[in-house]
Amino acid sequence: MTAISDLEIFARVVTAGNMSAAGREMGLSPAVVSKRISHLERRLGARLFQRTTRQLTLTETGEGFYERIVNVLDRIEDAEAFVARRHRTPRGTLKITAPTSFGRVHIAPYLADFMHGYPDLKLDLVLDDDFTDIVRNGFDVAIRIGEL
């Protein structure tokens, strides 16, 4: 399977027009870019670029390959953005357990501001002074007070 980075390098060379510019944009040397393109061409068993000392142009195969991988790269970028958005803002249910008096004095006064700051988050707050199996009951956060 072809590495995604090789596809990204190929697409960048196409859009930049040459390997040096693509390398600068990606923080790679022209030699590395050239090596990765050559590796990709060997792997595919086809020439993607027609090279001369002055010019770099896509072959017919290279044009078809570019048209197909640019959509793949866009979809990967979209998928990464989806994950980033989902992890940037907390969402779901946060299940917390704490002793009753501690919860009333130190947690409850701040709940409204906290929930306002995280509207996609649901809070399940259980205040009790009994022994609770935090793993079996699925708590994300457990606050306990006692002698060490």
* pLDDT bucket at 146, cuts 50 / 70 / 90: confident
* pLDDT bucket at 147, cuts 50 / 70 / 90: confident
Q: Which of 54, 46, 34, 37 is nearest to 3 (CA)?
A: 37
- Express each pLDDT in 93-140 by its tens digit: 999 999 999 999 999 999 999 999 888 899 999 999 988 899 999 999
- According to the model, what pLDDT value does residue 123 have? 93
Domains, the chain: 4-87 (1.10.10.10), 92-142 (3.40.190.10)
- Express each pLDDT in 27-78 by its tens digit: 999 999 999 999 999 999 999 999 887 889 999 999 999 999 999 999 999 9
- According to the model, what pLDDT value does residue 48 have? 95
DSSP line for 81-109: HHHHHHHHS--EEEEEEE-HHHIIIIIGG
Q: Which of 56, 21, 64 is nearest to 38 (CA)?
A: 56
Q: For residue 81, is pLDDT > 80?
A: yes
The CA distance from 140 to 144, in Å, is 13
- According to the model, what pLDDT value does residue 105 have? 94
Q: Is the pTM of this model over 0.85?
A: no
The CA distance from 66 to 113, in Å, is 50
Parallel/antiparallel/unpaired status of strands 49-51 and 56-58: antiparallel
- According to the model, what pLDDT value does residue 2 have? 63
- According to the model, what pLDDT value does residue 126 have? 95
- Express each pLDDT in 82-95 by its tens digit: 888 777 778 889 99
- According to the model, what pLDDT value does residue 132 have? 85
